[in-house]
Chains A and B, each alone.
Chain A
Amino acid sequence: MKLVALSWSHRSSASVAREALAAVPVERVLAELRARGIKEAIAVSTCNRFEVYAAGRPGDAPSPEALIDALSELAGAGIAGEVDAREGLDAARHLFAVASGLDSLVVGETEILGQVKTAYETAKSAGMTGKRLNVLFQRALYVGKKTRTETGIAAGSASVPSVAVQLAETIFGRLEGRSALILGAGAMAELAAKHLAARGIGKLSVANRTWERGYALAARFGADAVRWEAFPEALALADVVIASTGAPSAVLTRALVEEASRRRGGRSLFLIDIAMPRDVEESVHKLDGVFLYRLEDLESIVAKNLASRAEAMAAARAIVEAKADEFDAWARSLSTGRELSFRHSGRSAR
């Protein structure tokens, strides 16, 4: 069997080529390749990469040049110079590394696994997969899961908003039925609102010094807009507060938080200060049941998580290598007439 992989990724190529390729619908790519006589091909298209995998018997296998030709016709000639072409074992190893998130900007991120799966399903329903690519992609999905569960490459949250949400969950458990108050209506406030809404926060309120902007942000997320003068009241009802105003001095003073905490009967209050200069007085962190995290606290947790993910990369690569070798042995066995079989839990093909 012959396997070819072409890759334009954030590592190897400028965004111009990737954007040109990403603009072409995957279905069209597959249709074009089929029209050129290629029987097995899968295209993976995400914001950070565009990849095509093609396979065939040794005799009628596609060549990298033929594939680049077809893609150049769809996306323009500028793409050819920036491609990474891989064949055989290298191609399989690359796909397994991609599925494991080893080739991603944020190591171990899980989105890519879903994108590989979608790419496979799209090609499969277009009738563009055969035995070779079916096995290759099913193995890739398996390896992607295995590396994440058996090594630490996907451990810990890797972005500031997701760390904030995770911390909120260590305080409150599930966020359904909890309420959040957002102070400010800037880009950071919006990002925070988006994450909290995605995690199913029960109630979201927005207070902003300029009423119209606060109201507009609240409207986008189905949240309540609160008058700036009334936010001390809202503080007593909120479990999570995200402060990101442009105020020159702290808006959440110790006196305000103490009063809110008293009215809450000591129920936990999680304050996240992502404003610069600070919105929350540091001394509130000393209050019982009040937890203040500042942007740099969240960033250092992210850095720690990313560092421990990086430490796990060698172990994940070892799994990728072993599984790619196993796949390669299987692919070679196809032409001998004595096909090997995989064992999902076992170490090697027999």
Chain B
Amino acid sequence: MTAQSVLIWAAFSLYTAATFAAFGYLFTKDPRASRAMLTMLGLGLVLHLAGFAAHVAAFWAYPENRFFLPLTSFFGALSYMALALASAFFVIEGRARLGILGAFVLPWAAGALGLAVIFASPETAPLSEPLRSYWLNFHPMLLMTAYAAFANAAGVAIAMLIQERQIKSRKPTELCYRLPSLDELDALNGRIIAWAYPLLLVGLAMGFVWSYDDWGRLWTNDTKIRLALVTAAVYGVFIWRRYVVGRRGRRNVYVSLLGFASVLLTFFGAELFGGRHSFMGGLR
């Protein structure tokens, strides 16, 4: 085992343990579980960061890869997204005392890193000639940051739907009093998406500019691009309804979850169709 895989495995184990602690906190509201969750998550983040740095170092061992981010492999992309998601949770929810949402957000981080360590190959290879462009440090990075934020928002949305059900039932359980209020969850879901949406748009636009730069035309005949445009359209509908028309509540949250389903399809589904956007060094 390389130092990198030891670090990433350790980070994955800590994220998984933090996820269990998060569920413990949700069901018992024992502050010790919350502290354990934040401690393990913080430690996991440090190890993950070190592991990611080791991956970057291995990637840069090829001189032609130097100073590009290793986001073109399945392993690198998943690892980066898990890192972004876990740190976003640590900063946003940890600071706003919304740690109770860990049970809804951390499974995505643990899951993404789990996919990376178990199924994806951490091998690095030299980048092909057309990818060696400064756009590579922006286009995928922005999109993956947006995807991590959308995963966070989807967790919040699920919490909101549970809370809504609890209150509609007229027989709320303890869980109802533990979760943040319906309005807070609704607002948080909206805010995270409103923050991530520009990243998605700019990331996509950069992809188009990049292809135009290289080929003198826009590249549109690719499954991943089309799915990404669908994702952008669905979240566009959400933002429009939420902030222009001013709609709130359950139905709009369904739209945001549809958006996240589209993110998953864009990220994983497009692999099935192949094309230039498929990740190199995919599965083990």
Chain A interface residues (CB < 8 Å from chain B) = 166-167, 169-173, 265-268, 285, 288-289, 291, 293, 297, 300-301, 304
A172-B183, A173-B183, A268-B249 provided; 13 other pairs, C-beta below 8 A? A166-B177, A167-B172, A170-B167, A170-B172, A170-B176, A171-B183, A173-B180, A266-B251, A267-B249, A268-B182, A285-B168, A293-B170, A300-B171
Task: Give the distance to chain B from A264, nearest Cβ to Cβ, in Å.
Answer: 9
Can you name the residue of chain B whose Cβ is closest to the Cβ of A157? B177
Residue contact B181 to A173, C-beta cutoff 8 Å: yes
28 CB-based A-B contacts, threshold 8 Å: A166-B177, A167-B167, A167-B172, A170-B166, A170-B182, A171-B167, A171-B182, A171-B183, A172-B183, A173-B180, A173-B181, A265-B245, A265-B246, A265-B248, A266-B249, A266-B251, A268-B183, A268-B249, A288-B249, A288-B250, A289-B248, A289-B249, A289-B250, A291-B168, A297-B170, A300-B171, A301-B172, A304-B171
Question: Which residues of the other chain, B, contact A301 by a CB distance below 8 angstroms?
Answer: 171-172
Residue contact B252 to A171, C-beta cutoff 8 Å: no
Is B163's beta carbon under 8 Å from chain A? yes
Task: Give the distance to chain B from A292, nearest Cβ to Cβ, in Å.
Answer: 8
Task: Give the distance to chain A from B230, nearest Cβ to Cβ, in Å.
Answer: 25
Residue contact A172 to B168, C-beta cutoff 8 Å: no
Please measure, in the bound complex, the distance between the C-alpha atom of A300 and the C-alpha atom of B177, giving whole angstroms.
Answer: 16
Is B184's beta carbon under 8 Å from chain A? yes
Q: What does DSSP make chain B's interface, helix, strand, loop or mixed?
A: helix
Known contacts: A268-B182, A291-B168, A293-B170. The answer to whether A170 contacts B163 by CB under 8 A is: yes
Please measure, in the bound complex, the distance between the C-alpha atom of A293 and the C-alpha atom of B250, giving whole angstroms.
Answer: 19
Is B226's beta carbon under 8 Å from chain A? no
Is B247's beta carbon under 8 Å from chain A? yes
Please measure, in the bound complex, the distance between the C-alpha atom of A278 and the C-alpha atom of B17, giving whole angstroms.
Answer: 50
Chain B interface residues (CB < 8 Å from chain A) = 163, 166-168, 170-172, 176-177, 179-184, 245-252
Residue contact B163 to A267, C-beta cutoff 8 Å: no
The 7 closest A-B pairs by CB, nearest first: A173-B181, A265-B246, A266-B249, A289-B249, A297-B170, A266-B248, A171-B182
Can you name the residue of chain B whose Cβ is closest to the Cβ of A174? B181
Question: Which residues of the other chain, B, contact A171 by a CB distance below 8 angstroms?
Answer: 167, 181-183
Please measure, in the bound complex, the distance between the C-alpha atom of A189 and the C-alpha atom of B199, giving whole angstroms.
Answer: 50
Question: Which residues of the other chain, B, contact A304 by a CB distance below 8 angstroms?
Answer: 171
Please measure, in the bound complex, the distance between the C-alpha atom of A346 and the C-alpha atom of B183, giving whole angstroms.
Answer: 42
Please measure, in the bound complex, the distance between the C-alpha atom of A304 and the C-alpha atom of B167, giving whole angstroms.
Answer: 16
Can you name the residue of chain A whose Cβ is closest to the Cβ of B182? A171
Question: Which residues of the other chain, B, contact A288 by a CB distance below 8 angstroms?
Answer: 249-251
Residue contact B167 to A291, C-beta cutoff 8 Å: yes
Please measure, in the bound complex, the distance between the C-alpha atom of A171 and the C-alpha atom of B186, giving whole angstroms.
Answer: 10
Please measure, in the bound complex, the distance between the C-alpha atom of A166 and the C-alpha atom of B177, giving whole angstroms.
Answer: 8
Residue contact A266 to B247, C-beta cutoff 8 Å: yes
Question: Which residues of the other chain, A, contact B246 by a CB distance below 8 angstroms?
Answer: 265
Question: Which residues of the other chain, B, contact A285 by a CB distance below 8 angstroms?
Answer: 168
Task: Give the distance to chain B from A285, nearest Cβ to Cβ, in Å.
Answer: 7
Question: Which residues of the other chain, B, contact A289 by a CB distance below 8 angstroms?
Answer: 248-250
Question: Which residues of the other chain, B, contact A266 by a CB distance below 8 angstroms?
Answer: 247-249, 251-252
Can you name the residue of chain B whose Cβ is closest to the Cβ of A169? B181
Please measure, in the bound complex, the distance between the C-alpha atom of A170 and the C-alpha atom of B165, giving whole angstroms.
Answer: 12
